[in-house]
Structure 1
Amino acid sequence: MTDTYYERLVDEDALAAYLEEGLGSAETYEIERHREGHSNETLLLTWGDRELVIRRPPPGETADTAHDVLREYRVTKALVDTDVPVPEPVLACEDHDVIGSDFYVMERLEGDVLREGEPDRFADPAARERIGEELVDTLAAIHAVDYEAVGLEEFGYPPGYTERQVERWGQQLMWAFETTVEEREVPDLYEVGSWLQENVPKEHPDTLVHGDYKLDNVMYGPSTLPDLVGVFDWEMATLGDPRADLGWMLSYWRDPKDPDPAVPELTATFMEREGYPSRLELVERWEERTGYEFAHERFYRTLAVYKLAALGEMFFRRYLEGNSDDPMYPKMEERVPALAARAVRIIEGEEPL
């Protein structure tokens, strides 16, 4: 992390004044950047005896709606008293004079986010099975939320959600291509986008959807038995098609039979070990828990990889424009074409569920 980039993320004096007004004075004030994510920025905050987290967008120009942290605040506030485990939100700020963007503050949870591997206490088949079960059961709990009862009835417009997803991510991709086309083109993504437009399911269930649900966006508590204690990164949440959430989660889940990952730097493979459920087993459990069928599975898995490619291309644009110091972003020059090829394999039945 360069000092210059950090200074673009937070004005420590202005933030301290804001926190003092909202939370009261504190003798201890410490803040550091958490580098694990690759989209919104996460800052770890100590304010007195409270351990907190700040979420804000990256600096610089971003695609419309791609980094809506106040949306994240709203949905987590609504879910605090439901069966969906979320960190409790504390403050939300729209005043860009504080740190240069919208941001919100939430309580910090204790536990493990499984990104590159499993903690030793989970290294046995029974625990591994429960990791997968907890992951899919929590997704089912999200899809079971009575969104009207928690005040989210105007949080989205479910009819036409899936068609809009195809259109929206195509637009995000075109936004990225405005700059990245000068470096190289990805023709497969035009073909994938056309296939998705032609194969959008005409009907779908309507539920709360997370929009970015995957293993490294949840936390398991410190207990010996895997217990999912928190779901993070809600900025893409809305009301829509729960099967899109499932397809997205599955795009990150590995089976032993899978080809090499398209983006190895962002793809955990430890769930190929003995005990972890297969993708098909996760689907069957989700269907059992929700009562929904995972119909049109090739469409939803292709859509997920298309979205991954669009995100990667947006990362690449941000790198080219000098708006990130993330070492992952320049690698998208090669990784996005690999994702496009994966989407084509799913369409053609060469990468089955």
Structure 2
Amino acid sequence: MSDETYLDRLVNEEALRSYLEEALGSTDEFSIQRHAEGHSNETLFLTWGERELVLRRPPPGETADTAHDVLREYRVMDALQDTEVPMPTTVLACEDHDVLGSDFYLMERLPGDVIRGEEPERFADPDHRERIGEELVDTLAAIHGVDHEAVGLDGFGRPAGFTERQVERWGKQIDWAAETTAERREVPELDRVGEWLEANVPDDYPHTLVHGDYKLDNVSFAPGTPPEIGGVLDWELSTLGDPFTDLGWMLSFWHDADDPEPAIPELYPTFMAHEDYSTREELVARYEDATGYEFEHDRFYRALAVYKMAGLGEMFLARYMNGDSDDDLYPQMEEAVPRLAERALEIIEDED
């Protein structure tokens, strides 16, 4: 599938121009570029006159249940504009499917860097490397410290029973994807992981705003040094729930020196194994100091994080097999998901 054909499925340029002229005023300068780094909701970079904007919309085709709710993503981002959580500036949300065939929203594009496979050269310094992890943890603590009622997010989720529902929901999404992916291969290890998680759900945890996909490449670092997060991105899975699911997810993408090679190198960077970076243990200690919470049940939350990634991988593969994505990463999930399942079992069986 060519980029041009896929972009045509995402954007009706004439309809979008007409809508934006009414909402933002007319301009002679209008361009659209698809951002290929994302692997879930589609991200498009727009130039509208002198404004640099980001458009977020769901991928085309069938999706699983509650995934890809971009209007929900917009709601929480808009609510956090005046809090201590660094955020991109929201612009507008649209639920008129006559424009693009789906909901979408616009925000201002942030200057700076999203750190993916390698660290930016400006951060290649012992103090800066340490500060990256500190910024990541401090910002997560700020998210978990938001007074959700005060910012208008009361009723944004159901924190009671959240973690149990997480296990159940991701199991269902894996089953949904497996209806397609079983044509290629089956992953019985995922059933073992799911059964262990169901039997080991923590009984008690704080109730806070959670991001749902918090990790290093879902924050943008502002230009300059020292490292400072300019905005938290990708809020599509945010809700009220268990903050330790966020922490476990973040830690699952943070590579310690003695960790095995990641199942998906494109999504799991390893540069933070360098001695200048904080270890997972140090990040947890800083989080506990910042929030006053004690991070118990480490194995559960880290195994849950890998299980969720395996679930995403199965959905990626299903979408690819159904012809609903041209992402080069998606077909790799045929081999990557079984490796993720094995990694989750390793975490479960590690008594240390």
Instruction: Normalising by structure 2, report the TM-score.
Output: 0.99
Which residues of 2 match residues 157-176 of structure 1 at below 5 A?
157-176=158-177
Q: What residue number does 1:187 align with? A: 188
Between the aligned partners of 2:215 and 2:62, the Cα distance in structure 1 is 26
Q: Give the distance between the partners of 1:327 and 1:120, measured in 2 at CA.
A: 27
Q: Distance in 2 between matches of 1:14 and 1:245?
A: 38
Matched residues in 1 for 2:65 and 2:104: separation? Answer: 16
Q: Which residue number in structure 2 is paired with residue 111 of structure 1?
A: 112
Aligned amino acid, residue 333 of structure 2 = M
2:64 is paired with a residue whose SS is coil
Query: Cα distance, 1:91 vs. partner?
Result: 0.8
CA contact (8 A) 2:163 2:242 kept: yes
Tell me the alpha carbon deviations over residues 249-269 of structure 1, each in whole angstroms, 9 at most, x when there is no partner: 001000011011111222111
Q: Deviations over 1:270-310 (max 9, x none)?
A: 11112110000000000000000111110000100000000
Which 4+ residue blocks in structure 1 deviate beyond 6 angstroms? Answer: none
Instruction: Describe the SS at the equivalent of 1:248.
Output: helix
Q: Residue 18 of structure 2 corresponds to which residue in structure 1?
A: 17
Equivalent in the alignment of 2:52 = 51
**Amino acid in the other structure paired with 2:298:** E
Q: 1:115-163: CA deviations, max 9, x gaps?
A: 0111111001110000000000000000000000000011001100000
Asked if the contact 2:117/2:266 (under 8 Å) is kept, the reply is no
C-alpha displacement at 1:203, in angstroms?
Answer: 1.0
CA drift at 1:30: 0.7
Q: Which residue of 1 aligns with 2:274?
A: 273
Q: Is the 8 A contact 2:35 2:45 kept in 1?
A: yes
Task: Kindly provide the amino acid, as one letter, of the partner of residue 224 in structure 2.
Answer: S
> Where in structure 2 are the equivalents of 1:199-348 lying within 5 Å?
199-348=200-349
| Aligned pairs, number | 351
CA offsets, 1:84-121, max 9 Å, x none?
Answer: 01101111011111111110000111000000111111
Deviation at residue 27 of structure 1 after TM alignment:
1.7
Partner of 2:323, secondary structure, is coil
CA contact under 8 A between 2:173 and 2:311: conserved in structure 1?
yes
Q: Distance in 2 between matches of 1:245 and 1:261?
A: 20
What is the percentage of aligned positions where both structures have the same residue? 69
Could you tell me which amino acid in structure 1 is paired with residue 184 of structure 2?
Answer: E
Letter in 2 for 1:175: W
* Aligned-partner SS, 1:266: coil
Q: Map residues 59-208 of structure 1 onto 2, 5 A cutoff.
A: 59-208=60-209
Q: Distance in 1 between matches of 2:213 and 2:286?
A: 19
- The amino acid across from 1:297 in the alignment is D
CA drift of 1:2 comes to 2.4
Deviations along 1:171-194, whole A, 9 cap, x unmatched? 110000011111100000001000
C-alpha distance in 1 between matches for 2:266 and 2:42: 19
Distance of 1:191 and 1:136 partners within structure 2: 31
CA distance in 1: counterparts of 2:325 and 2:269, whole angstroms: 23
Q: Which amino acid aligns with 2:127?
A: A
> What secondary structure does 2:86 align onto?
coil
CA distance in 1, matches of 2:175, 2:90: 34
Code of the residue aligned with 2:100 in structure 1: it is I
User: What's the counterpart of residue 2 of structure 1?
Assistant: 3
Whole-Å separation in 2 of the counterparts to 1:29 and 1:276? 42
Instruction: Extract unaligned runs of 5+ from structure 1.
Output: none
CA–CA separation in structure 2 for the residues paired with 1:172 and 1:96: 26
Q: Given residue 286 of structure 1, which amino acid in structure 2 is its aligned partner?
A: Y
Residue 250 of structure 1 aligns to which amino acid in structure 2? L
Q: Distance in 2 between matches of 1:191 and 1:119?
A: 39
* CA–CA distance in structure 1, aligned partners of residues 106 and 31 of structure 2: 14
Where 1:264 maps in the other structure, the secondary structure is coil
Shift of the alpha carbon at 1:26? 1.1
